[in-house]
Amino acid sequence: MSLDIKPLNTLPLGKKAVVSDLTAIGTERRRMLDLGLVKGASVEALHKSPTGDPTAYFIMGAVIALRGDDARKILIKEY
């Protein structure tokens, strides 16, 4: 397992990771927490839109699309 911490938007399609931390603040942070993006949550990159943004992720039993700007604020450890 890799211990390198990197932003979620760099996770290749089909790979899984664990949320390490969030750099978002305020209501944006609250929204991410409400979506299940809490420390230790498993995340899998599923699909990219035809234009490349947003990307669909499997998080806490749901498929959620996140824009690259938002995904950059979610730090992960890939495994």
Q: Which pLDDT tens digit goes with each residue over 4-55?
A: 899 999 999 999 999 999 999 999 999 999 999 999 999 999 999 999 899 9
Assign 3-class secondary structure to the chain.
Answer: CCCCEEEHHHCCCCCEEEEEEECCCHHHHHHHHHCCCCCCCEEEEEEECCCCCCEEEEECCEEEEECHHHHCCEEEEEC
What pTM value is reported for the model?
0.90
Domains of the chain, residue spans: 5-78
Which pLDDT belongs to residue 35? 92
Which pLDDT belongs to residue 3? 61
- CATH superfamily, with its number, for domain 5-78: Ferrous iron transport protein A (FeoA) (2.30.30.90)
Which pLDDT belongs to residue 25? 96
